[in-house]
Amino acid sequence: MKAIQFIRNSSEAGAAVDVELPLPVAGGYDLLVKIEAIAMNPVDYKVRPAEGSDPKTLGFDAAGTVVGVGDEVTLFAEGDEVYFAGDVTRPGTNAEYQLVDERIVAKRPTTLDVVKSAALPLTALTAWESLFDRLGIDFDNANGNVGKSLLIIGGAGGVGSMAMQLAKLAGLTVIATASRSESSEWCRNLGADHIINHHGDMPEQVRELGLETVDYIANFNEVDKVWEAMGEMIAPQGSLVLITGHRSHLDMVGAFKMKSVRICWEFMFTRSMFGTYDLIEQHEILKRVANLVDEGKIIATANETLSPINAENILEGHRKLEAGSSIGKLVISGWE
């Protein structure tokens, strides 16, 4: 089968190469999926091979068709059209065929094509787990959430684009951050009630909205520079979720202790990496997201496409993501 492997930690020409690899065989809970479209995420460039390590087949988001099933598989059959975000410990989606555990896969939305479907899984899982598993917001109690406010830092990014939509469905008032006119407009189209600029004085902008504090903060981007501001903006007994690491020492006490703030982490790969007892939750979340899309409650977030899936376009995708200014998702589809 065709595959693209990174041979060094770079997005320059030659850092990834087109190769031929043996076709994997499905066993146990694995599905063998023929990959038709992949979406790019910042994790792709964050886990490129370090100097001196083996070449790596990267890529996490994909949509494709099941062409083989392991002997323990019960949820899928050959021919099913699926989407998934994969497992960071296994070879990824930058290949014509991939093995993936059925418990982190779902049938893709029937109302979207394969390109738009591929854009969804990783960001949908991260957004869902952040809001509903980590912050503890009850998705099914929209009436009970009315009047509660959520600040999303990084609204127009891949994760923010899904989180804004899910939070609105859950009844929350959503304040999203965006720093450009095009990213602000994108956030408004996806349902944000208010937009503030993460490069400005965020606490002051929140006060100008008539809010003293916010009940929840989902930080989907840079943490260090906004740490103090988050301490100022979060409500007493509020909750904060983080999905990216921080580079400097952060004062965990200060406002966060005085306000008894719950601070939690979300890592989308935790369930697959540790094979947690509730691994199948990711299958359930992706199923719910596909239904919400098919019911017209969630809009696709694919915003840019490249074709075909090859080393040249994957490197181009890495460079675009590294620039940090993506709006929505970049998808690469088809094989030459």
Q: Is 235 exposed, middle or buried (0-12, 13-18, 19+ CB in 10 A)?
A: middle
CB of 111 to ligand NAP, least distance (A): 23
Tell me the window of 173-181, 205-213, 253-261, 306-314 that interacts with ligand NAP (CB under 6 A): 173-181
The correct pick among 26, 35, 43, 192 for binding ligand NAP (CB under 6 A) is 43
CB-nearer residue toward ligand NAP: 179 or 213? 179
Residues 101-130 touching ligand NAP, rule: CB under 6 A, are 126
Tell me the window of 17-25, 29-37, 94-102, 219-227 that interacts with ligand NAP (CB under 6 A): 219-227
Strands 30-39, 97-101: parallel, antiparallel or unpaired by DSSP? antiparallel
The correct pick among 142, 189, 267, 297 for binding ligand NAP (CB under 6 A) is 267
CA dist., res. 104 & res. 157, Å (int): 23
DSSP line for 27-74: -TTEEEEEEEEEE--HHHHHTSPPTTSPPB----EEEEEEEEE-TT--
Q: Can residue 266 be called a binding residue for ligand NAP (CB under 6 A)?
A: yes
Strands 329-333, 30-39: parallel, antiparallel or unpaired by DSSP? antiparallel
CA dist., res. 299 & res. 64, Å (int): 20
CB of 41 to ligand NAP, least distance (A): 5
Q: Can residue 244 be called a binding residue for ligand NAP (CB under 6 A)?
A: yes
Greatest Cα pair distance, the chain, in angstroms, is: 60
Q: Is 52 exposed, middle or buried (0-12, 13-18, 19+ CB in 10 A)?
A: exposed
CB-nearer residue toward ligand NAP: 69 or 196? 196
Draw the binding track, 307-326, toward ligand NAP (x: CB under 6 A; -: no contact): --------------x--xxx
Q: Can residue 176 be called a binding residue for ligand NAP (CB under 6 A)?
A: no
Q: Which token pair is 167? A: 């939070």
For binding to ligand NAP (CB under 6 A), which residues are involved?
Answer: 41-43, 46, 126, 153-154, 156-160, 177-180, 183, 198, 220-222, 243-244, 266-268, 321, 324-327
